[in-house]
């Protein structure tokens, strides 16, 4: 009897588990990330040529506008659909990071500024920041040790 239930369960799991086509997913991620990058490059070009900004200032405006766009799209509940379709293409760039900060803030705003937004805003982005800083510290320490040993 147990074997029959196990087979039924495995059959059910196989039936409800979504199947993914890796090639299609990669294409969608490429297209989504590419569109975000093209928008960023357009902002850079317009800032540099039309507003005659230096490269660093144009880059700052580009980052600012991409983050603003992602937060606005998140606020109108449009970015999750983009992320669902584009996968990592929408989640990896700066827009994905902005979405990961804005989404919890929007979701928990009803709980108040301190216990809602303040305490939940970095629930998704916090680990990314923490481990990013920790990894850069470890790599810096390794580089420093290699310099002291004369390897680098």
Contact predicate 129/101, CB 8 Å: no
Question: Are 84 and 36 part of one and the same domain?
Answer: yes
Residue 79's domain comprises 23-121
Question: Are 58 and 116 part of one and the same domain?
Answer: yes
Q: Report pLDDT for 115.
A: 85
- The CB density around residue 104, as the number of other CB atoms within 10 Å, is 19
Q: Report pLDDT for 121.
A: 86
Domain membership flag for residue 10: no
Instruction: Give the model confidence (pLDDT) of 91-119 as tens digits.
Output: 888 999 999 999 998 888 888 888 888 88
Q: How far is CA 13 from CA 2, 16, 18, 21, 95, in A?
A: 16, 5, 10, 18, 34
Place of tokens 């580089």: 143
Instruction: Give the model confidence (pLDDT) of 14-67 as tens digits.
Output: 888 888 899 999 999 999 999 999 999 999 999 999 999 999 999 999 999 999
Distance CA 92, CA 83 (A): 10
Question: Are 106 and 141 part of one and the same domain?
Answer: no
Q: Report pLDDT for 18.
A: 83
Tally of domains in the chain: 2
Distance CA 95, CA 56 (A): 19
Does pLDDT of 1 surpass 70? no
Domain membership flag for residue 1: no
Give the residue, 78 or 14, on which the prediction is more confident: 78
Q: Report pLDDT for 2.
A: 86
Verdict on whether the full-model pTM lies above 0.85: no
């Amino acid at each position: 009897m147990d074997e029959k239930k196990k087979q039924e369960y495995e059959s059910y799991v196989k039936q409800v588990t979504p199947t993914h086509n890796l090639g299609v997913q990669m294409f969608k991620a490429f297209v989504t990330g590419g569109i975000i990058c093209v928008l960023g490059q357009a902002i850079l070009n317009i800032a540099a040529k039309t507003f005659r900004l230096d490269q660093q200032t144009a880059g700052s405006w580009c980052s600012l506008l991409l983050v603003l766009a992602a937060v606005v799209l998140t606020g109108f509940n449009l970015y999750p659909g983009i992320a669902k379709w584009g996968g990592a293409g929408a989640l990896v760039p700066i827009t994905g990071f902005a979405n990961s900060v804005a989404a919890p803030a929007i979701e928990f705003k009803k709980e108040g500024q301190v216990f809602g937004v303040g305490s939940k805003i970095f629930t998704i982005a916090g680990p990314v920041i923490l481990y990013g800083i920790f990894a850069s510290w470890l790599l810096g320490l390794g580089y420093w040790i290699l310099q002291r040993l004369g390897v680098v």
